[in-house]
Amino acid sequence: MDYLQLRNFKLRYFVLFAIVIFITSFIMLFFLTIPASEEWITFIVSICSLAYILFQTKKWNISYNEQTIQMTMSKGRWVRYLSITACFQIITVVLTTILLSVLYLLFEEQIRSFFDLFQFNSLEIVDTPLIVYVLFFINICILAPIWEELLFRGILLRRFTLKWSPQKSIIISSVIFGIIHLNPINIVFAFALGCVLGYAYLKTKNIVVPILLHSFSNFLAFLQFCYANQTTTVDLPTIEAVRHELYISVAIFLVISFILVFLLIKYYKQFQQLKNPLQNIEKRQEIDTVIDNNDL
């Protein structure tokens, strides 16, 4: 595969496109009053992003696969990749629970006073419409994994390998991937997940692998979303209940962290041994010349 064709995808144009989409969606959020307006806006943004990337892919004949899944993925490797992905997702949920529990235990009186002041305890949460679940699933389990992997791994990561080592390229692309998730905890999780997805892509050379791993991770988040929306009333927990949940969360965090470290140790040496896909020195010099004459 000729990596030079990746240069035809102008990142500055995509950034401009993304800014326009973001501003437009922000304006629409204030004017749309239809049910599940946020989910519909996210759906439109995802469709537009995917359409843009697919258009550029077809226009410049960009290829994302160099090997078939059967050539690189065994059942054992699928189990390990999926296990690592699940561990990251579970740790994110548990860590969030731990932080919220600690904050509640530290500021329980202030939180109760705030709820009493605004009479939150007497409120009822309206049942979430089915369309919200449907759109949320489509957005995070189908559309987002496809266009994000095509962009961040299929294009951005591989373009970085034209200039840097695979390890540095994975880290930098994962930092960018994490930043776009905004939420502080999600930034850390997205960065870690991005490193796994980047490694999986460079190792297997098939974009379907990180797409499926990304989709699996988001599906776990979808299940959490469904569980969180089962509550029908606003009711503050007791101190004893929060402490009990905190102890359980800490125990789960320690167990999952141990499993995750064990799994990652196996891949650390392989991560260090990743080689740049461009080994030919003359080809390398040709690409360096192109890079010097063009901006990212």
So what's the pLDDT on residue 88? 92
Span 210-217, average pLDDT: 97
Within 10 A of 140 (CB to CB), how many other CB atoms are there?
Answer: 20
Strands (E), 58-204: none
Q: Is the pLDDT higher at 144 or at 288?
A: 144
DSSP designation for 6:
G
Within 10 A of 128 (CB to CB), how many other CB atoms are there?
Answer: 15
CA distance 185 to 67: 34
CB-based contacts of 185: which residues, under 8 Å, 6+ apart? 92, 95, 96, 99
- Give yes or no for residue 4 having a pLDDT over 80: no
> Which residues on adjacent β-strands are paired with residue 233?
124
So what's the pLDDT on residue 33? 78
What are the distances in angstroms from CA 127 to CA 99, 132, 139, 188? 27, 10, 20, 31
Give the model confidence (pLDDT) of 57-90 as tens digits: 999 999 999 899 988 899 999 999 999 999 999 9
Sign, Cα dihedral of 5, 7, 11, 12: negative
Work out the mean pLDDT of the chain and round it to a whole number: 86
Give the model confidence (pLDDT) of 245-269 as tens digits: 999 999 999 999 999 999 888 888 8
The token duo for 23 is: 């501003």
CA distance 195 to 291: 24
